[in-house]
Amino acid sequence: MKKKTISFVTGSRAEFGLIHSLLKEIQSEKKFKLDLAVTGMHLMREFGLTFKEISKSKIKISKKIKTISSIKKKDYIINCLSIGVKKFGDYFRKKKPSLICLPADRHEMLAPAIAAFHQNIPIAHFFGGELSNGSKDDTIRHCLTKLSNLHFVTHPEHKKRVIQLGENPKNVF
C-alpha cells in the first residue's frame, strides 16, 4: 500500500509549537508520509531563522519556501502572498499530497490555502473559530476556514463558530 502524503505548512515558531507533537506522531506512522514545508518568519533572519529549531527537533523539513526577505519592505504582505501562491502552487503540483494541513491564522497560510484550493487538494485547518479582537487575524482565520474541508478546533464555542460560518458539522472536530 502506498503511503499517503500529508503536507503541513508552518510559518512561525508560535504555531509550530502547537503542532509539534502531531508532526512527530505522523512522522512515526507507517501509513503516512509527512511533508513539512517551512515558510514565513521561520526563514527570516530578523526572527532568528527558527527553521533551525525544527531541524533540531528531529522533524524533517521537506521544503523551505521563502516568500519575503524582510518585513521592512513596502507591501511585504501583498508580495508574500503573491509569491507564496505561485511557489506553493508549484510545490503542491509536484508533491501531489493527499491532504494539506494549515495551522492558525497568519497571512502566510493564505498562500498555500489558495494554491491547494485551486488544485482541489483537501485542506485541514487547525484552530479555526477562535477570536482575536482588534486584529486582522479573525478575517484571515475565517478565510482559511472557508477554503478548508476539515476543521480541527480547540473548544466547543469555536466549533459552533465554524459551523455558523456555513461549514458542515460532520467535518468539524
Computed over every residue of the chain, the mean pLDDT equals: 93
CA gap 124, 19 in Å, rounded: 13
Q: Which DSSP helix (H) or strand (E) runs through 72?
A: none
Q: What percent of the chain has pLDDT over 90?
A: 75
Give the model confidence (pLDDT) of 32-65 as tens digits. 999 999 998 898 888 888 888 998 998 999 999 9
Closest by CA to 145, choosing from 92, 103, 108, is 103
Give the model confidence (pLDDT) of 76-88 as tens digits. 889 899 999 999 9
- Is the CB of residue 128 less than 8 Å from the CB of residue 159? no
Ranking 3-7, 16-20, 45-49 by mean pLDDT, the lowest is 45-49
Q: What is the mean pLDDT of residues 98-113?
A: 94
Q: What is the model's pTM?
A: 0.93
Q: Cα 75–78–82 angle (5° rounding)?
A: 140
pLDDT-based confidence at residue 170 (cuts at 50, 70, 90) = very high
The three-state secondary structure class of 58 is: coil
Closest by CA to 107, choosing from 67, 146, 73, 69, is 67
**Cβ–Cβ contacts within 10 Å for residue 88, how many?**
27
3-state helix vs strand vs coil in the chain, percent to 5: 50, 20, 35
Which residue would you say has higher pLDDT here, 71 or 20? 20
- Looking at residue 1, what is its pLDDT? 73
Which residue would you say has higher pLDDT here, 99 or 14? 99
Evaluate if residue 70 carries a pLDDT over 80: no
